[in-house]
Chain A
Amino acid sequence: MLESILITIATAATPLLIAAMGELVVERSGVLNLGVEGMMIMGAISGFAVALTTGSVWIGVFAAILVGAAFALIFGFLTLSLVTNQVATGLALTLFGLGLSGMLGEGFVGRPGLKLGRIDIPFLSDLPFVGRLLFGQDPLFYVSLLLTAAVAYFLFATRAGLMLRAVGDNHTSAHAQGINVVAVRYLAVMFGGACAGLAGAYLSLVYTPQWVENMTAGRGWIALALVVFASWRPWRVVAGAYLFGGVTIGQLHAQAQGMAIPSQLLSSLPYLATIAVLVIISRNRRLTMMNTPASLGRPFVPER
């Protein structure tokens, strides 16, 4: 019982973790992309539709990654090349993604989808208690953890990561040092989009293998909150994502047990928890100020 709860928590946490990890890199480069929800829902529909049409879940997953990155490219072009307001452009990306996905997905509503299977590592997955939890999950669960390790390594142990952080903390001096600020940010934004697309595909190919309009249900926004919660540190995002996974699954179990609390009230818990967590984090202003990339959301036009 407990084991199966823990496994479902991991399935609820994985999409949040993947999307938040992408946004973390974007924000570390000094760009605030509020379009996570839109890129995620586009990943969900394109992953679902491509998997169903080609018959291959993996082609669906790759399509979702590509579509997410392409969507992010629209955002990148506007905010980086045309220097539009990042907040407004991110919102536009979300609104456009929700609208477009609803339109594209109309023919797929109610159709049974494909599901990405679990990996079974022989012997290890038969271990008591931790066996299935650690060695018998879906492949993207492992991808999400590898991604975290890779991002942590990239940001804090490589030269390119240092460059990316320099761009995010002070774009003027990074530019003066000869770093191509706009190019670094383009790459970061597209990486973020690819991650959001992958997270969306996780929803429509693993979490609930079907297409429902607006099926991301605010997860893209929660991923944005997780980045703040984690104060822009990769491993803290894991903690945050599993915390939210726990709240989500906990309330679902409470609903299934038929508790006297109305289901709608329980369903609103993850959103209320997000607000609570944001308040707790922001109360410690010094901590927030210290970790926020200093150029976050500020426009940059290279001087010539």
Chain B
Amino acid sequence: MMRVELVKRPQQSALFSALSPFIALLLTLVAGAIMFLFLGKNPVDALYYFFIEPLLETWSLHELAVKAAPLILIGVGLSICYLSNNWNIGAEGQFIIGAIAGSILPVVFPGFQSWIVLPLMLLMGVVGGAAYAGIPAWLKARFGTNEILTSLMLVYVAQLFLDWLVRGPWRNPEGFNFPETRSFHAYAVLPEIWPASGRAHWGFIFAIVAALVLWFVLSRTLKGFEVKLIGQSPRAGRFAGFSRARMVIFAFLVSGALAGLAGISEVSGAIGQLRPSISPGYGFTAIIVAFLGRLNPLGIIAAGLVLALSYLGGEAAQISIGVSDKVARAFQGMLLFFVLACDTLIHYRIRISRRLRAKGVEAPAGHA
């Protein structure tokens, strides 16, 4: 009889640390090809339209940057949370509240037009996102309330709040009753990077800068050491004199701030007004981005581009071969499964052993 068992490695495998995201991507492509086969499409064509075609034109590379910006911004913030063992899964809500807070100036005070408006908007977006993330953080630090559930519940609350704003008090008075705010004036729009060739805006630059800064903090500073130590061994962290409660607040505020920045950048750079729905689930997809990037900010830049490509590919495949763009969401979920499964190879060796077992002899206790 064959048995497959996991044997803990004495130390993490450097080889598989580097390889595992690529193996996961490869497995996702194989599984995706099988899925397309079931949907009655030619898998080679489908994968081409999904993952290659969007890379062939300049304008669509710009779209890639537009979609990658929020994913990277949120993803690097989440990496601080997950490394320190704080499970913020409410980034979608922090994104929305950041977008709302940042939109106060152009929507409520449209007459205030000056170059200072945009920096203020970005600042308010950051503060809004951080404050909203502060709620589950404070509840966890103060009462020990489960942050997974509270941060997730606040996503629904934020979505409903945005819905109320754009249908109620913030609805565009000249907008023929459409549920949307007035369009942002010129001073409130985040500029495009190369306006001549496409839509990519400064949000992408914020994302790269944020990733580089957090990479530096995590790998070269005491704060970064504290984040990782508390995450890996809370006891050791306590002996080192680090406060777990303060780390909860720190991690949530950083990731909330970045999600808020992503929210206001998206609204001011890509959409230009508030609508009932401003995100195709960026806050949740960013969880996948964080893990695919192995919680390393530089890896997260690459992972953000990959997941952005899956959004674009979904749209492209819908137009060219008529599969639903919902396929992209299924792809993304599947990818996370494979990423997690491949990470096992970093910590464990798989041993396949042949063991002959005489008939009638009981297996040793615990092996039945």
Inter-chain contact B150/A275, CB cutoff 8 Å: yes
Interface: A159 (CB within 8 A): no
| Chain B interface residue count, Cβ-Cβ cutoff 8 angstroms | 52
Alpha-carbon separation in the docked complex, A92 to B328 (Å) = 14
Alpha-carbon separation in the docked complex, A97 to B164 (Å) = 28
Interface: A4 (CB within 8 A): no
Q: A91-B89, A102-B326 are in contact. Are A84 and B145 (CB under 8 A)?
A: no
Q: How far is the CB of A38 from chain B (nearest CB, A)?
A: 8
- Over the window 204-222 of chain A, the binary record of Cβ atoms lying under 8 Å from chain B Cβ atoms (1 yes, 0 no) is 0000000000000110010
Alpha-carbon separation in the docked complex, A291 to B336 (Å) = 32
Inter-chain contact A228/B149, CB cutoff 8 Å: yes
Residues of A within 8 A of B82 (CB): 88
Residues of B within 8 A of A121 (CB): none
Inter-chain contact B327/A272, CB cutoff 8 Å: no
**Which of the residues B144, B153, B331, B365 comes within 8 Å of A272, measured between beta carbons?**
B153
**Which of the residues A87, A95, A302 comes within 8 Å of B333, measured between beta carbons?**
A95
Interface: A262 (CB within 8 A): yes
Q: A84-B343, A95-B329, A175-B366 are in contact. Are A34 and B337 (CB under 8 A)?
A: no
Interface of chain B residues 287 through 345 with chain A (CB within 8 A): 287-288, 291, 324, 326-334, 336-337, 340-341, 343-344
Q: How far is the CB of A280 from chain B (nearest CB, A)?
A: 9
Residues of A within 8 A of B331 (CB): 99
Give chain A's interface secondary structure class.
helix
Inter-chain contact B143/A282, CB cutoff 8 Å: yes
Alpha-carbon separation in the docked complex, A82 to B346 (Å) = 11
Interface: A179 (CB within 8 A): yes
Inter-chain contact B365/A224, CB cutoff 8 Å: no
Alpha-carbon separation in the docked complex, A87 to B85 (Å) = 10
**Which of the residues A84, A95, A271 comes within 8 Å of B288, measured between beta carbons?**
A95
Inter-chain contact A268/B161, CB cutoff 8 Å: yes
Inter-chain contact A271/B343, CB cutoff 8 Å: no
- Over the window 251-293 of chain A, the binary record of Cβ atoms lying under 8 Å from chain B Cβ atoms (1 yes, 0 no) is 0000000000010110110011011001100110100100000
Alpha-carbon separation in the docked complex, A224 to B89 (Å) = 14
Q: How far is the CB of B223 from chain A (nearest CB, A)?
A: 24
Q: A83-B344, A271-B156 are in contact. Are A78 and B337 (CB under 8 A)?
A: yes
Q: How far is the CB of B4 from chain A (nearest CB, A)?
A: 8
Interface: B113 (CB within 8 A): no
Interface: A106 (CB within 8 A): yes
Q: How far is the CB of B9 from chain A (nearest CB, A)?
A: 12
Question: Closest residue to B87 on the A side, CB-wise?
Answer: A87
Question: Closest residue to A96 on the B side, CB-wise?
Answer: B333
Inter-chain contact B340/A178, CB cutoff 8 Å: no
Give chain B's interface secondary structure class.
helix
Alpha-carbon separation in the docked complex, A176 to B365 (Å) = 8
Inter-chain contact A103/B324, CB cutoff 8 Å: yes
| Chain A interface residue count, Cβ-Cβ cutoff 8 angstroms | 55
Interface: A144 (CB within 8 A): no
- Over the window 151-169 of chain B, the binary record of Cβ atoms lying under 8 Å from chain A Cβ atoms (1 yes, 0 no) is 0111011001101100110
Q: A84-B344, A301-B6 are in contact. Are A92 and B333 (CB under 8 A)?
A: yes
- Over the window 115-158 of chain B, the binary record of Cβ atoms lying under 8 Å from chain A Cβ atoms (1 yes, 0 no) is 00000000000000000000000010001111011101110110
Residues of B within 8 A of A181 (CB): 366
Question: Closest residue to A225 on the B side, CB-wise?
Answer: B149
Inter-chain contact A82/B149, CB cutoff 8 Å: no
Q: A99-B329, A278-B150 are in contact. Are A92 and B367 (CB under 8 A)?
A: no
**Which of the residues B168, B341, B347 comes within 8 Å of A78, measured between beta carbons?**
B341
**Which of the residues B144, B161, B367 comes within 8 Å of A285, measured between beta carbons?**
B144
Residues of B within 8 A of A177 (CB): 365
Interface: A72 (CB within 8 A): no
Interface: A124 (CB within 8 A): no
Q: How far is the CB of B268 from chain A (nearest CB, A)?
A: 24
Q: How far is the CB of A120 from chain B (nearest CB, A)?
A: 37
Interface centre among B156, B288, B328 (most CB of A within 10 A): B156
Q: Could you name 16 residue pairs across A and B whose Cβ atoms are closer than 8 Å?
A: A83-B348, A84-B340, A91-B287, A92-B340, A95-B288, A95-B332, A99-B332, A224-B149, A268-B156, A268-B157, A271-B153, A272-B157, A278-B150, A279-B143, A282-B143, A301-B348
- Chain B residues packing against A (C-beta within 8 Å): 5-6, 8, 82, 87, 89, 139, 143-146, 148-150, 152-154, 156-157, 160-161, 163-164, 167-168, 284-285, 287-288, 291, 324, 326-334, 336-337, 340-341, 343-344, 347-348, 365-368
Beyond A38-B333, A82-B344, 20 extra complex contacts between A and B, CB < 8 Å: A34-B148, A74-B337, A82-B6, A84-B343, A89-B337, A91-B287, A92-B340, A96-B336, A103-B330, A106-B326, A175-B366, A177-B365, A218-B153, A221-B149, A264-B160, A268-B161, A271-B157, A279-B143, A282-B139, A304-B5
